[in-house]
């Protein structure tokens, strides 16, 4: 009759063999892909097309630049000015952040909005009053007209 010690030794050896087999099965797909990539890299290097020669060439696998469909992107300052023009009386930075989120789906922290407002105030585009921030005059870039006005017909 086998002792407990011998049984545990046999069981341990069996588990180790099974673990090695499971690891080989799990690694097989990755090893195949790794071999294929290594072959491709060595073929590129043998052909003299390594990274040094292709540094200036754009990669076919890089993500494409987002298309803007002919529209320039709005700066945060432009969006803040538009929000202030359409927001009525003075607005707080948190209210402006809410408007930017609702209107343009842009979440901008209130601290970034405050810094931009301070820059706009230094440029004379906005003023800070007791009611909040207000727009001084019609200072929004005409290229960035209201979203509701898709095209103006003369």
151 domain-assigned: no
Please report the pLDDT score of residue 21 as a whole number.
94
For residue 144, the model assigns a pLDDT of: 47
Task: With respect to residue 35, please indicate whether it lies within any of the assigned structural domains.
Answer: yes
* 15 vs 27: which has the higher pLDDT: 15
For the chain, give the mean pLDDT.
Answer: 78
Q: Which domain holds residue 24?
A: 4-51
pTM reported for the whole predicted model: 0.45
- When pLDDT is averaged across residues 62-73 and rounded to a whole number, the result is 61
The answer to whether residue 123 sits within a structural domain is yes
Residue 70 in any domain: the answer is no
Query: Range with the lowest mean pLDDT among 65-74, 93-102, 112-121?
Result: 65-74
Q: Count of alpha carbons within 13 Å of 141, Cβ hemisphere only?
A: 11
Q: Report if residue 69 sits inside a domain.
A: no
Domains held by the chain: number: 2
Segment 60-79 shows an average pLDDT of 67
Could you tell me if residue 105 is inside a domain?
A: yes
Cα angle 22-23-27, degrees, rounded to a multiple of 5: 120
Query: Is residue 138 located within the same domain as residue 82?
Result: yes
Do 39 and 87 sit in the same domain of this protein?
Answer: no
Whether the Cβ atoms of residue 87 and residue 96 lie closer than 8 Å to each other = yes
């Amino acid at each position: 009759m086998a002792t407990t010690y011998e049984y545990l030794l046999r069981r341990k050896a069996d588990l180790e063999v099974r673990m090695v087999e499971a690891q080989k099965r799990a690694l097989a797909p990755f090893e195949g892909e790794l071999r294929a990539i290594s072959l491709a890299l060595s073929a590129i290097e043998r052909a003299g097309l390594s990274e040094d020669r292709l540094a200036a060439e754009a990669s076919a696998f890089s993500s494409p630049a987002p298309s803007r469909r002919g529209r320039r992107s709005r700066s945060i300052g432009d969006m803040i000015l538009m929000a202030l023009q359409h927001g009525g009386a003075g607005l707080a930075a948190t209210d402006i952040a809410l408007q930017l989120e609702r209107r343009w789906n842009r979440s901008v922290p209130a601290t970034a909005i405050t810094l931009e407002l301070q820059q706009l105030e230094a440029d004379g585009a906005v003023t800070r009053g007791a009611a909040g921030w207000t727009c001084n005059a019609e200072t929004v870039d005409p290229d960035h007209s209201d979203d509701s006005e898709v095209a103006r017909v003369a």
